[in-house]
Every structure is written in C-alpha cells, then in structure tokens.
A and B are shown apart, each in its own frame.
Chain A
Amino acid sequence: MRHYDWLQRFLQMVLTLLGITVVAFLLREAIPGDPVEILLGKEGLFQPSPEEVRLFRTRFGLDRPLFVQYFRWLGDVLRGDLGRSFVTKRPVAQEIRERLPATLLLALAGFSFAVLIGLLGGVFLAFWSGSIVDHLVRVVTLLFRSMPTFFVAVVLITLLGERWRVFPTSGMGSWRHLVLPAVVSGSGFGILIMRLLRTNLLQVLGNDYILAARARGLSAWKVLLKHAFPNGFVSVLTMFGLYLGGILGGSPVVETIFAWPGAGRLLVQAIYGRDFPLLQAFVLVFGVTYVAMQMLVDVCYFFLNPQVRPGKRIV
C-alpha cells in the first residue's frame, strides 16, 4: 500500500513536470507578432525579407505542427539546451547558472534570518500568549505584513545605508553587503513562521499529555520545548520547503532594489529587454526546482511522521 502511494506521488510529479514544460513552451506562442521576425530583426536594424523568414522557419522546424515542435524542443531541453538569450546571444542555461550562487547565498541568508526570528519569536509568543507583548507583537506584525517589501527596503537603505552608513546599500561583496537584503527578504517569511508556530504550539498545548507532563512536575519551558515543539513544528517544515522552493527563483524586487547580481534581477532585466528565451527558461527551471522541492518536503515529512502518507500534508 505504501509503495503504491509513493509510486502515485512520483507519477503525479512527473505529470506536473510535463505540464510545466507545456506551459513554458506555450509562452513562446503567446509572444505578440512573429517571433522569427523579432529574432531576425534584432540582429541588425534591417527588416528581414519574407524569403529569409521562410528559410529560417524551415531550418529550425518552425513550419511543422505545434506538437512536433514541442517534442523537438523538449528533446533540446532534456539535453540541457534552453536556447540563446536575445540580448547577450549566450546560452540562457549558462546565464541563469551564473546567477544562481548569488541568489542561493541571499536565499540562505534570508532563510536563516527568517528561521531565527520565526522560531524564537514563535516560542516566546506561545509562552507569553495573552500578555501585552503578545498583543503588541501581533499589531506590529499585522502592520508590517501590510507594507510592501520595497517600502521597508527603501527605509532601511536610507536610514542604515545612506544616513548612518552602517551597511552598504547595493552590490555584493563582504558579509555586510548581505545584511540588508537578507533582512528584507527574510522578514516577511519569518513573521509567517512566528505566527504559525505560535498558533500550532497553543493548539498542541491544549492536549492532555501536556497537562500530564506538567502534572509530573516538568517546568512550563521544558514542556513547551520538549513536548509541544516537535508536534507544532511539523507544519512549519512544510512552509520551509515551499518557501525555499519559491525563493530559488530569486526575489526580483529585493535583488533589484539592492542591485544584487542574482537570478531575480536577471528576470527583471529579461522583462525590460523582452528577452523571450530567458523568460521561458525561467518558468521552466524554477518550476522544476519548485516541484522537486515539494517532493523533498514530502520525503522529509515521511521521516518525521511515518503515519503521514505522501501528498497528504498537514497545513
């Protein structure tokens, strides 16, 4: 039975991956105007003749039916060929790969910051739930969640970067360059974790075994950390996976504001440059990563709680 469940989950993942390739492929069809004319026209400032356009089509198989084109394209993709950028003429796979280390670094830094404030905050708020601090934090986080990221970023840049010159405000270099973007990109998720963990902990704390542990004379802190935390943590883990999967695409807004040389900024630049192959590759690459990440979460879940069947997460 269990093997069957995993097989089903795996097949579902393969199906989803295929779906993503179809969506990415169809993006090309959504381009207004003739992509061939755009491509040839961009080489220089000349208007391609109808003969040239026709030749190009035959050469690259663009005159074949759509599904033939799709499978041919899929073959290229599976061999790692995602096409060339319209703007730089370099392979887009290479363009994205070059940006990944920076994005990964920022993602991990932001994630660490989020986990730090999320776990600490969640536990503390659960311990002091109902107190003035709890209410105050609730109001502040509600306000904070209602502010656009770039707004927080601009205020931090202006205060800590330009006025007091504590941290550099753009580019990548020492660890000091990392602080502001990491705080900005991680704080939203940190708050989410904080609230989720608090709610979970409070729910778990209502159980009888908690009362029993307290009756045996264990301190409130010990009960909270040893008995309630592992149970309250399970659904937080789901969020971790989803977040990490999503942020690998980079945080376009944060990276653009801080001039961080990551994938998110590349994505925004691809929009300005109307770099179609690059945009298509983005959907494909980060769709696949995201799905793989979700699968990973399911596996982790299984090890944490073998009763949970694949695909059935508790959120």
Chain B
Amino acid sequence: MMITGLVLLVVIGGASLLAPFLSPFDPLEVRLNNRFAPPFQRPHLLGTDALGRDVLSRLLYGGRLSLLLAVLSTLITLSVGMLLGMLAGYFGGWVDGVVSFVVNTFLGIPDVVFTLALLGVLRPGFGTLLLALNAGSWVGLARVARGEVLFLRESGFVEGARAMGAGAWYCLLKHILPNLFPTMGVLGSLRFGGFVLELAALSYLGIGVQPPFPDWAVMLNDARPYLFTHPHLFIFPALIITVVILGANCLGEGLRDALDVRFQRGIGES
C-alpha cells in the first residue's frame, strides 16, 4: 500500500515536472476550429476542450502549481509544527505556556474559515495561498510533536545523553528529532493529500489558482457545462486529482500500518 502510494505520487509528480518535455502541444494554445476533439485519437490523445486546447498537455501542466504549493505547504507545516512542538515539549515552562497558548488559539478557529478569511484579506497570489493554507494546519502537528517529545524526553537514551553532558540542542537534534520522523512522515503525507484537496476546492471556487493557467480544478470547472456531451473533459482531471490524493492517503496509511501495527480481531473469531 505504501509502495503503491509512493509510485502513484512519483509518476504524477515526475510527469508534472517534465511537462515542458512531455506535452505534445502548448496547453494555452486556442484553436477554435478544433473544439471537442474526442479522446484516444491522434494527434490529441486525450482530446481537446471547448476552446480547442489539448487536454493531455493541460493535464501535464495542470498539476504543477497545485503540487508545488502542496509540497511547499507540507514542508512549511512540518517544519514549523515540529520546531514549536519540540521546543514546547523539551523546555516546558514558559516556552510551553506560550506555544500551547498559540496552538490552542489557532485550534479554536475553524481551519476553513481562517484560510478563506486570509485569502479575502490579503492580495491574491502565490505567497498568500501558501500562507493561507499553512496558517491553521501547523498547529495539529505541533500538538502531536509536543506530546511525543514529552514522552521521549523522559526515555533512557535522552537521559543518558544528558548525563554525559550533552546540551539541549544536541539532544533535540540528535536524539529526539530522528524519533519524530515516523509520526511526522505519516502526518505529513496525509497533510499533503489534504492540501491538494483544499487547493482544488479553492481553485474550483475561483479563489485558488487563477485561469487561464492550466489547473486540474480549473479544468473541472470549465468542463461543467459539457459533462454529458463531452464527459472526457471532466473525467480526466477528476481522475488525476483523485489519484494524487489516493496516493498520498495510501502512503500515509501504509506508513502508519508499517510503523505501528495494531492488533485487529473480528467478533466472529472471538
């Protein structure tokens, strides 16, 4: 399951990365004499849309911005959440007090409301999207990381290192950080899927990635009126978004199962 997820993500990520070399046509080139070409025919393998643009090329380009945003957001969320969680958990005292206060405050604001409010207040753009996506998402990770560190701090190997004269930062980086990676890997990959999902919804509402830039969610929106007459315009982008998120979920849950095996027994066996 983990491998499947990873493969799905790598294939789609790689294809998006290599879009300029792989795509047969310009994704923005409008050809009104070639509208609604059916799929699975040469030269437009996946057909063309209402403006005669090549669907395959648009699909290849369509993930670039969302995937880049999702990857960056995941990295930011993981780093911020882990750093603050580690500080709060390890040092305790007033550091913990301040971090916990901030975490509780942000936990108190529904994520969707906060993201949308930020998008409305700030100037639209790449940075704003990045900020809005991350604003509320790091707190959950910080809370988990804090809990883990509280536990790790008391464990034998950390105490041993401290007894041998290791400083706080050495303990944190050398002994605690590596032990956080499994949990953070699971949460990070699930979070990545969440980001792709959120971005798609935002773009669909017209407040995420802006047209005419090719984007999967924007393509879905464009395809709405032709759902019955030309279903391929809807099905391909829908499929690819689903596969990306499926890949992230598979990776996350696969990792979780591989690292923390819980016993499961059905009532029929008991």
Contacts and interface: CB of A to CB of B under 8 A. Distances in A.
A219 B153 CA distance: 47
Contact of A274 (B109, B118, B120): B120
B123 to A, nearest CB: 5
Contacts of A150: 200-201, 204, 220
Interface in B241-270: 241-243, 245-246, 249-250, 262-270
Contacts of B249: 142, 145-146
Nearest 6 CB-CB pairs, A to B? A19-B105, A271-B120, A129-B266, A146-B246, A146-B245, A287-B109
A27 interface: yes
A253 B204 contact: yes
Interface in B44-94: none
* Residue with the highest number of chain A CB atoms closer than 10 Å, among B105, B120, B193: B120
B116 interface: yes
B204 A283 contact: no
B113 A16 contact: no
Contacts of A217: none
B267 A16 contact: no
Given A20-B105, A146-B242, A271 B264 contact: no
B205 A283 contact: no
A224 B112 contact: no
Interface in A189-236: 199, 201-203, 205-206, 210-211, 214, 220, 223-224, 228
B266 A202 contact: yes
Interface string B161-194: 0000000000000000000000000000000010
Interface in B196-234: 197, 200-201, 204-207, 217, 220, 224, 227-228, 234
A15 B270 contact: no
B108 interface: yes
Given A20-B105, A286-B110, A287-B110, A148 B201 contact: yes
Contacts of A111: none
B104 interface: yes
A127 interface: yes
Given A16-B105, A20-B105, A163-B228, A249 B204 contact: no
Given A205-B270, A291-B108, 19 more contacts: A15-B104, A16-B101, A20-B105, A126-B267, A129-B264, A129-B267, A142-B246, A147-B238, A148-B200, A148-B217, A149-B201, A205-B267, A206-B270, A246-B111, A249-B112, A267-B113, A268-B116, A276-B121, A280-B117
21 contacts: A12-B104, A15-B101, A27-B118, A31-B121, A32-B123, A128-B266, A128-B268, A129-B267, A142-B246, A143-B246, A146-B243, A154-B234, A206-B263, A214-B270, A246-B110, A252-B116, A272-B206, A283-B114, A287-B108, A287-B109, A290-B108
Contacts of B116: 252, 267-268, 271, 279, 282
Contacts, number: 165
Given A19-B101, A146-B246, A249 B267 contact: no
Contact of B109 (A15, A20, A199, A228): A20
Nearest to B244: A146
Q: How large is the interface on A (under 10, 10 to 19, 20 to 34, 35 or more residues)?
A: 35 or more
B110 A245 contact: yes
A67 interface: no
Contacts of B18: none
Contacts of A251: 112
A154 B227 contact: yes
Contacts of B113: 249, 267, 282-283, 286-287
A1 B123 CA distance: 50
Contacts of A17: 108
Nearest to B266: A129
B22 interface: no
Contact of B102 (A19, A32, A249): A19
A201 B113 CA distance: 33
A205 B120 CA distance: 49
Contact of A253 (B102, B201, B270): B201
A294 to B, nearest CB: 8
A173 interface: no
A182 B217 CA distance: 23
A158 interface: yes
B206 to A, nearest CB: 8
A256 B110 CA distance: 18
Contacts of A306: none
B141 interface: no
A249 B266 contact: no
A271 B265 contact: no
Given A30-B121, A202-B264, A246 B112 contact: yes
Contacts of B107: 16
A154 B223 CA distance: 11
A130 B268 contact: yes
Given A142-B246, A142-B249, A249-B112, A148 B117 contact: no
Nearest to A204: B267
